[in-house]
Amino acid sequence: DTAVSQTPKYLVTQMGNDKSIKCEQNLGHDTMYWYKQDSKKFLKIMFSYNNKELIINETVPNRFSPKSPDKAHLNLHINSLELGDSAVYFCASSRSAGTSYGYTFGSGTRLTVV
Amino acid sequence: GEDVEQSLFLSVREGDSSVINCTYTDSSSTYLYWYKQEPGAGLQLLTYIFSNMDMKQDQRLTVLLNKKDKHLSLRIADTQTGDSAIYFCAESKEGSYIPTFGRGTSLIVHP
C-alpha cells in the first residue's frame, strides 16, 4: 500500500543507453513531479504534471522526456544517457498544484551511468 | 547566496534536544516546511507552518518562525538515534507551484 512507488530502485547503465523510470501514486493526488537530487543533496525540480497536463518544465536537457498516461502515473524517459545524469531521481505527488499541504515523495531511483 | 540556507551537519547526544536552523530570503514566503530523509528513502513531510504563525508544536517537534529575520527552526526534544537523518527546510508562496528546498542538515545522534 505504498503511497508513491518508483521502479527501479537502482539503475546502472552505460553511457549512450536509453532508460525509463516509472512512478505511480495511489493517493488520488492531481499533481505529480520529478526531482533530481545531486551528490550534494540539492533537490532540483525537473517536471510537474497536473491531471496529465505538463505545467512545469524546468531547464532540463531534451534528452529527458516525461510521460503521464493518467493522473496516477508519471514516467521519466532518458535518452543517450551521460555521466552527469548520475543522481537520485525522486517522484512526488501533491493534492493539487499550488498546494500548501506539502508533497509525498517516492523512495527514489539511484541512477548510475558508467 | 541560496534562497534557502541550512548548516550541513549537526551532532547531538541521545536524549538532548536538537535545533536545526534555516534562513530564507523571500519575504513573500507563505508556507514553510520541514522534511526528513532517512538513508535510502524519499523525503517525508514532518510538519509545516504558515507565515502568520510564530510557533507550531507536534509531540517532540517544535517549529519556530521569526518572519522578521526570515528564520525558521526545528527543535526535536529528547533526540533518539532513530532521528538521525537529513532534515530539509523548504518554502513556498501562495499560488506558487513549487517549493524551494535547502540543501539539508544531516543530524547525527550519538549515544
Separation between Cα atoms, residue B79 and residue B11, nearest integer Å: 11
Closest alpha carbon to A32 in A76, A71, A87, A77: A71
3-state SS, residue A47 = strand
Residues of chain A whose beta carbon is less than 8 angstroms from a beta carbon of chain B are 4, 31, 33, 40-43, 45, 48, 55-56, 90, 92, 97-98, 100-108
Q: Of all residues in chain B, what percent carry a pLDDT higher than 90? A: 75
Task: Indicate if the pLDDT at residue B65 is higher than 70.
Answer: yes
For the stretch B28-54, pLDDT in tens is: 888 899 999 998 888 999 999 988 899
Burial B10-26 (b: 16+ CB within 10 A, else e): bebeeeeebebbbbbee
**What separation, in Å, do the N-terminal and C-terminal C-alpha atoms of chain A show?**
34
All three cell numbers of B58, joined, read 507536534
User: Does A59 have pLDDT greater than 90?
Assistant: no
